[in-house]
Amino acid sequence: MNVDEMKDVREFRAGAPKPDRARLAQGRDRLSSAAGRGRGRRLRADWRLAAVGAAAALTAVAVLASGLGGGGHSGAERTVPAGTRTVPGSVKEVLKRAASTVERADPPPTPHAGQWIYEKKLSASPGTWPPSAAPQPEPEPEPQEHWARYADPRFENGKEGDDRSMRERLRFLDELPDDPAAVLKKVRAYYPSGKSSPESEGEQDMGALSVLFASQPIPPQALAKLYRALAAVPGVEVTDHLVRDLAGRDALAVGHDEKGQKVRREILIDPHTYQYLGDRQIVVKDYMHTYPGAPDTPDRPWKAGDRMFQNAVLATGVVDHKGDRP
């Protein structure tokens, strides 16, 4: 991640003082919509993923492929025949299968200081608000490439709060306990919401887990622990049919729903390899979003079924220099 990207991230922080409307109208809209309401400190890392891409990678020597432990993500579309698109079992059963599958994979080599995390992804977010007098159709998302230092001293030892380097995140994942409830407790402490945040425990769990799922090269044992912890989140459920991600691939959608919630966050998982594919946020009830910091901005209507943010990881890897590709 370069200095310009981090400047954008700092401007989009939920906890930062609100600058003037003209400079950050788009950023405030996107951030506020993703949160539904104020999120506190933890959202800074979460928004960093949505805004400029989280580092997600496997080793540079690996060919980009679809397996865990043996390669990175592939952009190839995978679809399932219509007759077999039903997802059998409860969310606990589905995630138990996922955990049992991924923990048998060989662990990828760990990157070393000086290397860079490469990621290619598709992202989509809401259009600007209010719309222009002559609105234009939203362009189709184009693949974006990002490079971030694996061990970036600017994001270690608490220098940027809960914006952490990939090295720190992988160390955290290596130390996760076996008990799912204990994992969730540690995750909530690692990405705290802040005392003034109105979000529920389940919402906080989903936000923090979405950050950690995008950590790569994630050890198979750690990924299995995250799946078991995801199954223990209050209100979590699996969609009873396969969905299509932003790249058109079939995916299991594991989301969190509870009374009063306006937006559902979903983790998308490959139905064959159980590899993390990306995430998305979907409106679950009609509501009007207001802008307290910008009184001249009209309220924005949202309808159930509207998609807010979507991310689809296409390819990942670890390289020796910024600009290199695996």
- The tokens for 171 are 């160390």
255 residue type, one letter: G
Compute the distance between CA of residue 81 and CA of residue 300 in angstroms, rounded to an integer: 38
Compute the distance between CA of residue 174 and CA of residue 221 in angstroms, rounded to an integer: 8
* pLDDT at position 299: 94
Q: Quick check: helix, strand or coil at residue 321? A: coil
Compute the distance between CA of residue 16 and CA of residue 7 in angstroms, rounded to an integer: 13
270 residue type, one letter: D
Q: Considering all CA atoms of the chain, what is the largest pairwise distance in Å, rounded to the nearest integer? A: 56
* pLDDT at position 189: 93
Quote the radius of gyration of the chain (alpha carbons, Å).
19
* pLDDT at position 289: 92
**Does 139 sit behind a cis peptide bond, omega within 30 degrees of 0 on the bond before it?**
no
* pLDDT at position 70: 35
Per-residue pLDDT tens, the chain, 326 aa: give them: 444 444 343 433 333 333 433 333 334 434 444 444 333 334 344 433 333 333 333 233 332 333 333 334 444 445 555 556 899 999 999 999 999 999 999 998 889 999 999 999 999 998 888 887 776 677 788 999 999 999 999 999 988 877 899 999 999 999 999 999 999 999 999 998 876 777 888 999 999 999 999 998 999 999 999 999 999 999 999 999 999 999 999 999 999 988 888 999 999 999 999 999 999 999 999 999 999 888 889 999 999 999 999 999 999 999 999 999 99
CA nearest neighbour of 217 among 99, 112, 100, 114: 112
- The tokens for 288 are 């009007």
* pLDDT at position 126: 86
* pLDDT at position 193: 81
* pLDDT at position 8: 40
Q: What's the predicted TM-score (pTM) here?
A: 0.75
* pLDDT at position 83: 54
159 residue type, one letter: K
